[in-house]
Amino acid sequence: MAVSIVIVSHSARLAEGVAELAEQMSMGEVTIAVAGGTDDGSVGTSLDKVIAALQKASNPEGTLVLLDLGSAVMVTEMALEQLDPSERQNIIISTAPLVEGAVLAAVEASAGSTLAEVAEAADNGHEMPKGKQEREP
């Protein structure tokens, strides 16, 4: 079993899209759960959705959580407090950029890497070039 990934976003469509891309890159070898949007389908975060995603992704190898914006961190931290200590033991909240981090994490997890290695790979998303653009002064 591979390290799993949870995507927390203010947008359900964004969370699903990032998960779709990461799943493609990991060739379906990694469990990726999403918590996007509020319970009524609007933009925001849902404590219940985050808890459900964390429980769905829970496994002995660990879970890496990737987030989009600030309050997603707060809601995820609140969700972790709601879990039993045994459930939150192997969960890392990543500071990696959402898309790049999710892709890199999924690829690393699909290779059978440890939670620490998957988290480190996601963090490398900070360094991924997005192309070089020349700007005039």
Which residues participate in catalysis according to the annotation?
10
3-state secondary structure 108-136: HHHCCCCHHHHHHHHHHHHHCCCCCCCCC
Phi, psi of 45 (to 5 degrees): -125, 155
